[in-house]
Amino acid sequence: MALAHSERQSGSGRPRSSSRGMLAEAAAELFLEQTYAGTTVDDIARRAGVSRATFFNYFSAKSDLLWLEVDEALDAFDATAASVAPDLAPMDAVLAAVLRLADAFGPGSLPLAVTQVELMGTDAELQASALPRFLALVRRLQAFIVERAGASPEALLPRAAATAVVGAAVSAATAWARAGVGRGPLTPLVRAAVEPVCAGYAGVL
């Protein structure tokens, strides 16, 4: 049976699709073939068989494609944090939540943000696109600490603790990313960086 127009293949041989997954797959292929810097949004849309406008229905920028797994983990963070045992002390609960977040990543589950460092050294782009994600996690962790500690949302210490914890976790993730193909799981590095921070704030929260 002849394919409907929406299912006809594009010039690249792909069935037409507007799915987020197809765009991500196309981007990953192109970044490997012609590097991140050498790939445009138009290239990705063309490979996926969709329009440029459709790309922007799913992603606000090309850099979003580097952070797909990270964004999914961050979107699930509130549910992850809520699953932590309610009887834990506030900073013990923070450590448990952050370690569960780190468990989503390992040698078999690498965000393109990691592989692109190795392929291109796109540090400036990665740092710029990482900042809003860093700040979003700080806000979510701050809210978690406020709830667990029974603190005021305007209190200084929950935000300071959240910022310090996320900073430590990012330092661990950066070291992990730069470890190359021999890297192990992320979680032990995050524990080593975050546990002392949580211990330091445990006496005041």
Q: Quick check: 189 pLDDT over 70?
A: yes
- Distance CA(47)–CA(86), nearest Å, equals 47
Helices marked H in the chain — which ranges? 20-34, 41-48, 52-58, 68-75, 77-82, 90-102, 112-120, 123-149, 156-178, 187-202
Helix (H, G, I), strand (E, B) or coil at 62: helix
Q: Are 119 and 39 in contact (CB under 8 A)?
A: no
Task: Write out pLDDT tens, residues 82-99.
Answer: 999 999 999 999 999 999
Give domain 65-202's CATH architecture: Orthogonal Bundle (1.10)
The residue to which tokens 């860093």 are assigned = 134
pLDDT digits (tens, 9 = 90+) for 45-84: 999 999 999 999 999 999 898 888 888 888 899 999 999 9
113-167 pLDDT, tens per residue?
676 666 555 566 777 888 899 999 999 999 999 999 999 999 999 999 999 999 9
Asked whether this chain's domains 5-59 and 65-202 adopt the same fold, the reply is no
Mean of all residue pLDDT scores within the chain? 84
Which range, of 8-22, 32-46, 154-168, averages the lowest pLDDT?
8-22
Is this structure's pTM higher than 0.85?
Answer: no
Q: Give the start-to-end residue ranges of the domains of the chain.
A: 5-59, 65-202
CA 49 – CA 39 distance, rounded (Å): 15
How much is the pLDDT for 115?
A: 67
Non-local CB neighbours of 108 within 8 Å, separated by 6+ positions:
none
The residues with which 106 forms a beta bridge, in sequence order, are 109
Q: Please tell me the predicted confidence (pLDDT) of residue 122.
A: 59
Q: CATH top-level class for 5-59?
A: mainly alpha
Q: Which of 122, 121, 144, 141 is nearest to 133 (CA)?
A: 141
Q: How many CB atoms lie within 10 A of CB 150?
A: 8
Across 19-23, 46-50, 106-110, 121-125, least confident range: 121-125
